Amino acid sequence: MLFRKLALLAVTLTWLSLVKAQEEDLLSLVGSDEKPEKQYVDYAFKSSRVIMSHSMELIRPGVMDLRILHRFGNINKGIYEMFGLDNASMRLGFDFGLSKNLMIGIGRSTNKKELDGFFKYRLIHQSHGPGSIPFSLLFVGGSSMTLLKFTDTTRKNYFSSRLGYYGQMILGRKFSESFSLQFMPTVVHRNLVPRPEDPNDVFAAGIATRVKLSKRISLNVDYYYRLNPNPADGTKNPLSVGFDIETGGHVFQLHFTNASGMNEKVFLLETTNDWAKGDIQFGFNISRSFQLKKKK
Amino acid sequence: MKKLFIAVAAATIGLVSVQAQDKFFTKSGKISFYSKAALENIEAHNKAVTCVLDTRTGALQFAVLMKGFEFEKALMQEHFNENYVESHKFPKADFKGQVINNTEVNYSKDGVYPVKVKGKLTIHGETKDVETAGKIMVKQGKLVADANFNVDLADYKIEIPKIVKDNISKTVNIAIDCSLEPLKG
């Protein structure tokens, strides 16, 4: 009698578990998307710039990024200069995402009235999964032109003297949600140099990193070491440290830097401030993203 | 006793074999969500939803890859993934539930059947019980599952910072539209 009851119970339980098991496994019956696929890694930096430099990120296709950069004077100039606030320079720029791997940008700085333009092309996009490459590789090419009137009108002045060019590779990797690192070997060329012994072409090794402090705030560092400067010209390597704060459609970047100017030619070749002497400037960038071409 | 045992065993085997023909599925189901707020309306669509329905038991399951939601604005999509649903931590959302009035649906007769669905919805790592009305349309051996319901973001620990509180609604409307075909084998 007892045996019969137990047997019936066992069978019923098996039957019930069979039904329940089938219910749980419905999705796996369809063999859902568990096939490993190559996935691209995005958002290594919150912006297409670290602070001074281009980052390994691009503006998305169809998007325009309006960038307003402010750089104030040296903080150590004291209260009369309002710690540098009285001496503000600005760059207004527009960056456009053309395709998944290509973007362009133009801008104009008040410093030396310089126009600049560049394109950035991604050769390799960091990914994980089958057939993936663990880093991103990009190429940036740009040019700048000063619109200042020539100071010495008695000598023959060439239009080409206004121009400078730069080329840069960016090798970067997003190591984790909170840490990204990139290297930027760069060459800058200027047609006109201040002194005969100054090199027209300067090579620099750049390094930049982002450490994410919270969902919307990150700490960024941006530094270049010039390999062949003229040691007698009094220029220094540029170093910037700052915070990115992201809200809705804007990214605010607050930073401290010794760098002059806001395009590659100027900050790499014409920085004279020295962190060790406290020649630090406060800078404040705002970028706002506009979707020009809707995605669907 | 033996007869009862054999009968139950036969029924169990029968259950296993008959089940397969009563399942309908899709891997290209559509789920959309809408947020209406004072400053901004937000809309996103996912067209690669996996959905399975067992017409015998009424068991209903969905699996949704969060990165598959597409927005008009690239930046919105970036913020959705990075800051709100944190898709790097919680890549999928799913629903496991039941059509409560499954016996009222005649899957072999064309028509539109109102249904009540109840189950567990998991988003952003949080699971909550949900219940909603919907429709199952039967047409020439295929099904269309339709539903519309609201979800409170706070229930799933999705935080809206004060600075964007007029851009994102606390309650989001979710629309389901899945065309299901018989699962073979």
Number of domains in chain A: 1
Tokens 């060459």 map to which residue? A187
Q: How long, in residues, is chain B? A: 185
Q: Helices (DSSP H) in chain A: which residue ranges?
A: 2-24, 26-29, 264-269
Q: Is residue A208 part of a domain?
A: yes
Going by C-alpha positions, the residue among B50, B98, B94, B40 that lies closest to residue B71 is: B40
CATH code, B96: 2.40.128.110
Q: Is residue A31 part of a domain?
A: no
Range of the domain at B120: 25-182
Range of the domain at A285: 39-291
B73 touches chain A (CB under 8 A): yes
CATH code, A160: 2.40.160.40
Residues 38-97 of A with CB under 8 A from B: 42-43, 60-63, 97
For residues A261 and A111, what is the distance between their CA atoms, to the nearest angstrom?
6
CB–CB contact B11 A15 (8 Å): yes
B54 touches chain A (CB under 8 A): yes
B183 touches chain A (CB under 8 A): yes
B148 touches chain A (CB under 8 A): no
Contact list in B for residue A295 (CB cut-off 8 A) is 70-74
* Residue pLDDT, tens place only, B90-147: 999 999 999 999 999 999 999 999 999 999 999 999 999 999 999 999 999 999 999 9
Closest residue in B to A100 (Cα) is B74
Per-residue pLDDT tens digits of chain A, which is 296 residues long:
777 787 777 777 766 655 554 455 677 777 655 667 788 999 899 889 999 999 999 999 999 999 999 999 898 888 888 888 888 899 999 999 999 999 999 999 998 899 999 999 999 999 988 889 999 999 999 999 999 888 888 888 888 889 999 999 999 999 999 999 999 999 999 998 988 888 999 999 999 999 999 888 999 999 999 999 888 888 999 999 999 998 877 889 999 999 988 899 999 998 999 998 889 999 999 999 898 887 75
The pTM of this model reads 0.81
Nearest CB neighbour to A247, from listed B72, B78, B163: B163
> Which of B70, B73, B76 best tests the A interface by mutation, with the highest count of A CBs <10 A?
B73
3-class DSSP assignment, residue B15: helix
Pairing of strands B23-36, B171-182: antiparallel
For residues A27 and B64, what is the distance between their CA atoms, to the nearest angstrom?
11
Q: Is residue B122 part of a domain?
A: yes
| The two three-digit tokens of residue A133, written as one number | 């490459």
Tokens 């539109």 map to which residue? B112
Nearest CB neighbour to A7, from listed B5, B11, B50: B5
Contact list in A for residue B145 (CB cut-off 8 A) is none
Contact list in B for residue A43 (CB cut-off 8 A) is 78, 81-82
pLDDT of residue A100: 93
Contact list in A for residue B1 (CB cut-off 8 A) is 4, 7
B7 touches chain A (CB under 8 A): no
Number of domains in chain B: 1
Q: Please, are residues A237 and A224 in contact by the beta-carbon 8 Å criterion?
A: yes
Q: Is residue A30 part of a domain?
A: no
For residues A60 and A284, what is the distance between their CA atoms, to the nearest angstrom?
23
**C-beta atoms surrounding B93 within 10 Å:** 23
Quick one: CA torsion of B151, B174, A216, A262, rounded to 10 degrees?
-160
Going by C-alpha positions, the residue among B180, B177, B152 that lies closest to residue B46 is: B177
For residues A6 and B155, what is the distance between their CA atoms, to the nearest angstrom?
44
Contact list in A for residue B96 (CB cut-off 8 A) is 24
Q: Is residue B63 part of a domain?
A: yes
B71 touches chain A (CB under 8 A): yes
Q: Is residue A121 part of a domain?
A: yes
Nearest CB neighbour to A248, from listed B19, B81, B167: B167
| The two three-digit tokens of residue A140, written as one number | 């940036």
For residues A56 and B28, what is the distance between their CA atoms, to the nearest angstrom?
33
Q: Please, are residues A247 and A282 in contact by the beta-carbon 8 Å criterion?
A: no
Q: Is residue B12 part of a domain?
A: no
List the Cα angle A107/A110/A116 in 5-degree steps: 25
